[in-house]
Structure 1
Amino acid sequence: MSSRHPHLPLPPAVAPDWALFLDVDGTLLDFADAPGDVAVEPGLIDTLAILHGRLDGALALVSGRNLAQLDALFAPLHLPAVGLHGLERRDDGHVEQHARAPALDGVLASARALAAKYPGARIEDKGIGLALHWRGAPAAEEPLHEFATSALIDLPGYHLQPGNRVIELRPDGANKGAAVLDLLALPPFHGRRPVFVGDDLTDEHGFAAVGSHGGFGILVGSRQPSVARYGLHDPAAVRAWLDDSIA
């Protein structure tokens, strides 16, 4: 299958002066029906380790997953990372996290009861927020959307974040782009050309952030419109592009 994006040109190879920000699900990794079922392709961890070294540490994962999940997936790597769409951030060993809302436990129990009516639907407790997945149960999309909207009454200061067959309940005040801008103010990212690779609507904040600092976005998949300058067909194409960049 072609690595080309249907609307955008292929990106150049990773350059040594870049600060590289990589989304995970749908970008580095292929989607699975349940978040815990994703697989890290053989060789990807070695490729990331090599790139991390060549960029003098200026490579970060930027994900909707939490930091603990990212570390488990990419062990033994312990990369700079943004988790939960910006609600967690780790740079140079320092970790910043938002607090969990007390009302979230009751919302979680109700969400799980609803999902149980739709085999294949999943409720993911992210600690600070919740993700309601219907990739394995398309019929659950509308009821999960309605539930998430109504749950905002009990969660002041939260909002809905739509994604690829998922909707999340998450606190206000953070997104991937804001977290990327925070990292760009710090070594080893400061002063480099920032590049963000992602697939989802949540990654548009990242594309805009790097664009404001002389960089560009790389969109994975065929979603349109996007402010990304370049594109790749799917996660397999992303992995091949990264491999080619270290060859």
Structure 2
Amino acid sequence: MHSGADLSEQRFYAETGWDAVQLSHSSVLEVGSGAGRFSEVFLRTTSGVLHSVDYSSAVDTNRRNNATYGDRLQLAQASIYELPFADNTFDRVFCLGVLQHTPSFEDSVAALIAKAKVGAQIVVDFYPIKGWYTKIHSKYILRPLSKRLPKPLLLRLIRLNIRSMLLLFDLLCAVRLGALTRFIPITDVRGFPKGLSPTQRREWAVMDTFDAFSPEFDNPQRVDDVARMFSRRGCDVTFAGMAHYPGGCSSVVRAIKRAA
């Protein structure tokens, strides 16, 4: 849903810390493109070629969404553990919104590092563990059921209930009981852009809630633990913390692959 603000571009550059001109002259790999949200940002803001993969058939949607960029988008459907590229190939590798949904977080990190050249930059983001209370949340309470529901049924249930859940969410925030919203089976809408219309806000809430409750895996991580994964796998960590951008923030680790 278009919001009138280039939130994907702002998030991409805030998380990666990259420069569009330098990207235009780099070999770049995107792992987990989905429908092409960040693929479009790269293709629109640089003149480079993007190699992009996704495990799902969303690659077909990405291809349609970004058809105007022609051969600058090289797409493949593949698992993060079986990437169709030689090792030590890319100058830059990014994986956004994906790693928490893979079976083994550290094996996934290793798979990304393997495809990067020595001296290449790798950027990932992920769901954070904020404390002991992280998994005391409707998402983790209901996921044993929700992830097993047929996806069309889950989406229908969310759409049927999204108005009432938003009303309850807003009421709890209004009476300063926002901490209790974690028990409502809805995404945290407080980070949404302020200029969304009511219809746009509902659609964002539907899709973000579906993304939270539908994946088979959901493995949040501590930032320091992810930084250590990169260090163990032969990388120098250049940033490990929260990247802030309009509409939200993300846990991010940036690293450079060093010589073996």
Q: TM-score, normalised by structure 1?
A: 0.34
Higher relative contact order (CA closer than 8 Å, sequence separation 6+): 1
Higher relative helix content: 2
